[in-house]
Amino acid sequence: MSQGSAVRADRPDVPAREARKAGITAFVGTTVEWFDFYIYGSASALVLGDIFFAKMSPALGTLAAFGTFWVGFLARPLGGLVFGHVGDRFGRKKALITTLLMMGIGTLCVGLLPGYAQIGVAAPVLLIVLRMLQGVAMGGEWGGAVLVATEYAPPGKKILYGAFAQQGSPVGNLLATLAFVTIAWLPNEAFMSWGWRLPFLASAVLVLIGLFIRLRLNETPEMQQVIDSKQESKLPIKEVLSRYPRLVALGVGAGVAGVSITYVKTTFALSWATTDLNFTRSSFLTVIAVALVVQVLVQPFGAVLASRIDLKRAILVMLLPELVLLPAMFLLINTGSLLWASVGMAVATFPHAMYYSALAGVLSQVFPVEIRYTGMSLCYQLCTTLFAGTAPIVAQFLLARTGSIWPVVALGLGYVVLTVLCVLALVRRSSWGQAPPLAQPTSAASTSLS
């Protein structure tokens, strides 16, 4: 692609039926992918330490299991780069079909993997490899799913349609949690030997459903225009990093609250509540399930709010309440009451859930069409690696080191402050709400954006 050319967002009108179909496709696909990704989080908090790190103490085994959980996040930027390149060069559809297959295979194999007692050190090694496969798949999934929805969206509705892809996260998480709520009632011996494997094995059915739906979708209109006009970027990552480095950095920071706090509230809190407090596995999984139902219901309103009022104001309205609600949540969980823990987690879900809904639409308008998949995937996946994947580990370390939950609360509040600062700066610097920025000569772009 020549340096001075670019593909505009202008495109022929898309029938409303096709736009809705694209939104539903994005939702179903991300639901399946997130289900597969989230069941690993629940398993790492409850069982993987005992099965795959049996030689360690329970506390160290849990920490090691959280470490393998993070491996999935470490691999996500690689997935974003690989499939961002595929999606920007050859189309969104090809990338998304491949990521779904990879996730399905990796998840199924975790469910079939023997433990340390059967194959020794090979068990945790293979677990790490499979978790990396999951991470690569998830890293390539998110950007493509968002673009399928937003690039089919009617004018002025990109944030609303981006919320279709975002809705797959809480629904997938809810399904994963309900799966473990169901099997948590098994006798402990059955749960530890084979029960925990059932959600991983059942995911194969969901993957087949997702594949059937994705194969029926056409390429997005905006990307098809790029392909037809032969305007594909030869090396998208080079253009993203050379032209828009500050936008990438701000995009990373903008996602922190949306993707990290949920792991403090679920993965870490599940381990804390069932280890240090008096909650059973099934009772606290129920608390998380209630919060996820709330998230499914309230999350879309974030996209509606961001579409109806000034975006900067909407961001503050959505995120600032977290500064009060997050400490309140941990106080209520610490009471040991199932009711108050449910209330605290449900109410604290509102801020980050609503913001997460709008995040996809915001990032989808930061980069030009021909490098958009790579650009927004890089922002989001680096954020998940640096912040979301480390959240349970850092929180567990702070708790173990201090014996107090308040450093963990401070960590969550720091995530919120960082997000607010970065997303407000990103909105000022990017072309959100307008046509995507046109590619410019490198020197000009570097002067204005880097």
Q: Which domain holds residue 321?
A: 16-449
What is the Cα–Cα distance from 66 to 396, expressed in whole angstroms? 9
Q: What is the pLDDT of residue 2?
A: 35
Which of 26, 292, 322 is closest to 147 using CA atoms?
26
Confidence check: pLDDT of 7 > 50: no
Residues 314-321 have a mean pLDDT of 95
Residue 9 within a domain: no
Lookup: tokens for 347: 């109410």
Confidence check: pLDDT of 4 > 60: no
Total count of domains within the chain? 1
Residue 249 within a domain: yes
Confidence check: pLDDT of 316 > 80: yes
Residues 413-435 have a mean pLDDT of 82
Task: Name the pLDDT band for 430 (thresholds 50, 70, 90).
Answer: low
Residue 5 within a domain: no
> Which residue did the predictor score with more confidence, 198 or 62?
198
Q: What is the pLDDT of residue 13?
A: 61
Residue where the block lists tokens 């199924």: 108
Q: What is the pLDDT of residue 442?
A: 36
Q: What is the pLDDT of residue 431?
A: 58
Residue 8 within a domain: no
Residue 43 within a domain: yes
Confidence check: pLDDT of 447 > 50: no
Residues 326-345 have a mean pLDDT of 95
Q: Domain containing 327 — which CATH number?
A: 1.20.1250.20
Residue 152 within a domain: yes
Which of 304, 326, 199 is closest to 260 using CA atoms?
326
Chain segment 149-167, per-residue pLDDT in tens: 888 888 778 888 888 888 9
DSSP state of 10: -
Q: Are 183 and 195 in contact (CB under 8 A)?
A: yes
Confidence check: pLDDT of 265 > 70: yes
205 Cβ contact list (under 8 Å, min separation 6): none
Residue 7 within a domain: no
What is the Cα–Cα distance from 91 to 83, expressed in whole angstroms? 10
Q: What is the pLDDT of residue 10?
A: 45
Confidence check: pLDDT of 136 > 90: yes
Confidence check: pLDDT of 320 > 60: yes
Confidence check: pLDDT of 248 > 90: yes
Q: What is the pLDDT of residue 434?
A: 46
What is the Cα–Cα distance from 169 to 38, expressed in whole angstroms? 9
How many other β-carbons are positioned within 10 Å of the β-carbon of residue 67? Answer: 18
Residue 11 within a domain: no
Confidence check: pLDDT of 295 > 80: yes
Question: What are the Cα distances from residue 207, in Å, to 36, 53, 83, 200, 407?
Answer: 9, 29, 18, 11, 39
Q: What is the pLDDT of residue 57?
A: 72
Residues 41-67 have a mean pLDDT of 78
> Which residue did the predictor score with more confidence, 7 or 124?
124
